[in-house]
Amino acid sequence: MDILIQRIQENIGDLLGQSIGVGFALIFAAIVLLITAFMAKWVRRGVALASNRTALSLSLRSLFVQTSYITAWLIGILIACVIAFPDLRLGDLIGLLGLSSVAVGFAFQDIFKNFLAGILLLIQEPFRIGDQIQIGDYEGTVEDIAIRSTQIRTYQGHRIVIPNAIVFTSPVQVLTAFPQRRTNLAFGIDYHTPLEEAIRILRETASRVEGVLLEPFPLVDVVGFGESSINLVIRYWTKPMKADTNLVQTRMIMAIKQSCERHKISIPYPIQTVYWFEQDQLQNDQPTVTPRK
C-alpha cells in the first residue's frame, strides 16, 4: 500500500513538474510572439526607409516591405513553436509544415492564388501605384497593391478592393501608361458650310486651347453624313490624367462654340422635313386604271 501511494505521489510530482515546464514554455513562446510583433514593425519600417533611398518603383518597394514583414512573422512563429514544444525539432516542424501544405493549399487556395498573383503584379508592374486604370466596370487611381488585393480610388471618391487573382487574369486598361492621351470630340456642322475652310478654322482653334499638346498636332476628320449635319471629329492630345482630360475637354467645347459663332459656322439642331398633302387632291391625281376585258 505504501509503495502504491509513493508511486502516485511520484506521478503527481512528475505531472506538476511537466505542467510547470509547459507553462513556462508557453509563457516564453508568448513573449517571443510579442517581441516578433514589435520587431516585425521595426523590420517593415527599416526596409521602407532603405527602399525609399533607392531608385526602385513604388510597387517594388511595397513588395519588399510586405515580404519582409511576413518573413519576420514566420521566423518568430517558428521560434515560438520550438520553445513551446521543445521535443519538436525545427526540422520536424518544417517537415510537418510540408506535409500539411497540401491540405492547407486546398483549404486556402483562393488566398494563395491572390498571394501569388499579388507578387507577380508587383514584380511585372503592368501598372504602378498612382496610375489610373480601368478593370471591368471600375475606373480610378491605384492606391495600393497589397499581397492579397489591389485598391483603387474611383473619381467619385469610392474605394474599390479587387482580389489580385481577378486583376491578374482580367484585361486592365492603363490610362496613364504613356505621357500623353488622345481625346475624340464629335460634333456636326451645317451642310452649307465650306468644309476646307471649316476644318482649317477648327484646327487652329483646337491648337490654341490651353492644355492641348501641339505634338501630335490636333486633327479634324470628316466621318460621315448625318441626318441634319456633316459629322466631324476633333482628335487632340493632352496629359493622361482624368482631371486634365476633363478640364481640356470643357475648354475645347467652349472654344469651338465661340469660334463657330465668330466665323458664322452653324451647328444645326436635328431637322425633320414634313410634307403636307391634300387628301382629295392626292386621290384625284392618282391615275385611273381601267381593267381589261
What is the domain partition of the chain in residue ranges? 7-102, 122-174, 181-262
What pLDDT is attached to residue 148? 83
What pLDDT is attached to residue 65? 76
CA dist., res. 154 & res. 157, Å (int): 5
Q: Can you read off the three cell numbers belonging to residue 290?
A: 381601267
Residue 11: pLDDT band with limits 50, 70, 90: low
Yes or no: say if 174 and 126 are a contact pair by the CB < 8 Å rule. yes
What pLDDT is attached to residue 5? 57
Closest CA to 208 of 277, 240, 243, 256: 256
What pLDDT is attached to residue 174? 94
Q: Does 248 have pLDDT greater than 70? A: yes
Burial of 114 (0-12, 13-18, 19+ CB in 10 A): buried
Mean pLDDT calculated for residue range 29-39: 81
What pLDDT is attached to residue 272? 64
Q: Does 260 have pLDDT greater than 70? A: yes
* Tens-place pLDDT, residues 143-197: 988 878 899 999 999 999 999 999 999 999 999 999 999 999 998 999 888 999 9
Q: Does 290 have pLDDT greater than 70? A: no
Percent of the chain surpassing pLDDT 70: 71
Query: C-alpha distances in angstroms, 105 versus 71, 138, 196, 202, 212?
Result: 19, 30, 67, 62, 53
What is the DSSP pairing of strand 132-135 with strand 138-145?
A: antiparallel
More reliable by pLDDT, 122 or 22: 122
What pLDDT is attached to residue 18? 57
CA dist., res. 43 & res. 35, Å (int): 12
Specify which of 68-77, 139-148, 251-260, 261-270 reaches the highest per-range mean pLDDT.
Answer: 251-260
Domains 122-174 and 181-262 share a fold: no
CATH architecture of 122-174: Roll (2.30)
What pLDDT is attached to residue 66? 74
Q: Is the dihedral of CA 238, 134, 145, 64 positive or negative?
A: negative
What pLDDT is attached to residue 27? 78
What pLDDT is attached to residue 86? 66
Q: Does 77 have pLDDT greater than 80? A: no
Q: Is the dihedral of CA 131, 134, 139, 143 positive or negative?
A: negative
Q: Does 103 have pLDDT greater than 70? A: no
pTM over 0.85: no
Residue 224: pLDDT band with limits 50, 70, 90: very high
CATH architecture of 181-262: 2-Layer Sandwich (3.30)
Q: Cell 518597394 maps to which residue? A: 61
Yes or no: say if 142 and 150 are a contact pair by the CB < 8 Å rule. yes
Q: Does 40 have pLDDT greater than 90? A: no
CA dist., res. 255 & res. 225, Å (int): 24
Three-state secondary structure along 133-179? EEECCEEEEEEEECCCEEEEEECCCCEEEEEHHHHHHCCEEECCCCC
Find all residues with CB under 8 Å of 219, minimum gap 6, and list them. 203, 234, 235, 236
